[in-house]
Amino acid sequence: MTLKGLAEILGVHTSTVGRVMDPETRHMVGEEVAQRVLKEAAKHGYRPNKMAAALRTRRSNIVGVMLPDITNPVFPPILLGIEDELRKHGYVALVTNAGEDPAQQRFVVDQLLARQVDALILATATRDDPVIGHCLEAGVALVTVNRSEDSSRVSSVVNDEYAGMRLAVEHVLALGHSQLVHLVGPQTLSTGHLRKEGYELALAAHGVARDDVLLAECSAYTREAGRAGCLDALDRYPQATAILAGNDLLALGCYDALRERGLRCPEDVSVVGHNDMPFVDMVNPPLTTVRIGHHAMGVQAAQLVLRQLRGEGGGQVEIRLKPELVVRGSTAVPRKR
């Protein structure tokens, strides 16, 4: 069954059938006619030829989404938000797991563009990202999510990292901790860089000089890196009673390191994470963490890219979502060791 054949059966113009079969233009047709078309299309098993439509309109209604690590529990809620919003407007996501290597990411971008995606949403951005420059040269609509670059060449949807670290710092200070260590995430990423700055600013507001801030570097946002960073922190700062991890995976690595050293959480050392990724409420002890609205982040990233596709860009914007602190069992009043 073709579009023309379906139109002849219904006694309407082919353009009417075309509008009804496209969710973006269905509102242009009266409800009664639209329902007739949809019913007859279902009866005859008619499906629009998307490839032919893409060649005709230069639109595929596909948005490429590039993730750095699909195994990281942070990204599925973001992806779900993106897909939920795109679907409402007749778009689907083509999802790729590109890793952190720029050469591999560029290869993936080129493959997505070769498949005629209308836009890209990147969760892979670094602070100085050559892949973003490559995308801009290609002229594709582009938004970054969860991470941003320093030069702000593209619109982004991110967490308010300063606010998140301020919540974490003020929580442990209110409990009575005075010796805090921040497990710092990768400084090539906006999340690692801004959370470190947010930590320093939060302590400065309480009279702690930058030179007195306790930090331990982590090479990646992984549980293994968190274990190594925490062991380093325990060796360098044995007086510390609270650890503020750059993300939840680093915090879980802290649990491993503390058990290895015969220390208990929170009795000996309190731990705070960042993200509130799925299932951190089920570990022992349940993790106190900074909650980020990842689903909402995905929704807003999709909305931004759809506005670009409609020509409603109006310049680059950065949307910062407000975090909240979720207090669970991994933080408590300090006691002398």
Tens of pLDDT, residue by residue over 272-281, are 999 999 999 9
- If one counts the domains in the chain, the total is 3
Claim to verify: residue 188 and residue 260 sit in the same structural domain: yes
Claim to verify: residue 68 and residue 10 sit in the same structural domain: no
Is 263 contained in some domain?
A: yes
Q: Note whether 60 and 50 are within 8 A (CB).
A: yes
Claim to verify: residue 169 and residue 287 sit in the same structural domain: yes
Claim to verify: residue 98 and residue 181 sit in the same structural domain: no
Each residue of 51-71: pLDDT tens digit? 444 444 467 899 999 999 999
Instruction: List the structure tokens of 87.
Output: 């679907």
Claim to verify: residue 246 and residue 126 sit in the same structural domain: no
Cis preceding linkage at 334, omega within 30: no
Is 331 contained in some domain?
A: no
Domain that holds residue 171: 161-292
Nearest by Cα to 258 from 174, 184, 337: 337
233: enclosing H helix or E strand: helix 223-236
Is 27 contained in some domain?
A: yes
Is 330 contained in some domain?
A: no
Claim to verify: residue 101 and residue 127 sit in the same structural domain: yes
Amino acid at 272: V
Q: Note whether 169 and 323 are within 8 A (CB).
A: no
Q: Count Cβ atoms below 10 Å from residue 124 Cβ, excluding itself.
A: 28
Claim to verify: residue 195 and residue 167 sit in the same structural domain: yes
- What is the spatial distance between Cα 241 and Cα 173, in angstroms, rounded to a whole number? 11
Distance from chain centroid for Cα 50? 29
Looking at residue 181, which CATH number applies to its domain?
3.40.50.2300
Eight-state DSSP code of residue 289: E
Given a cut of 60, whether residue 337 has pLDDT beyond it is no
pLDDT of the residue at 57: 47
Is 337 contained in some domain?
A: no
Is 11 contained in some domain?
A: yes
Eight-state DSSP code of residue 322: P
Claim to verify: residue 252 and residue 176 sit in the same structural domain: yes
pLDDT of the residue at 236: 97
Query: What mean pLDDT, rounded, does the chain reach?
Result: 92
Each residue of 255-265: pLDDT tens digit? 999 999 999 99
Claim to verify: residue 208 and residue 311 sit in the same structural domain: no
- What is the spatial distance between Cα 80 and Cα 293, in angstroms, rounded to a whole number? 12
- Which whole-number Å values give the CA distances from 113 to 119, 124, 125, 134, 142, in the listed order? 9, 17, 18, 11, 12
Q: What is the mean pLDDT of residues 235-254?
A: 97
Pairing of strands 242-245, 288-291: unpaired
Q: Is the dihedral of CA 121, 122, 127, 130 positive or negative?
A: negative
Is 328 contained in some domain?
A: no
Claim to verify: residue 155 and residue 298 sit in the same structural domain: yes
Claim to verify: residue 115 and residue 165 sit in the same structural domain: no
Each residue of 180-212: pLDDT tens digit? 999 999 999 999 999 999 999 999 999 999 889
3-state secondary structure of 244: strand
Claim to verify: residue 77 and residue 140 sit in the same structural domain: yes
Distance from chain centroid for Cα 130? 19
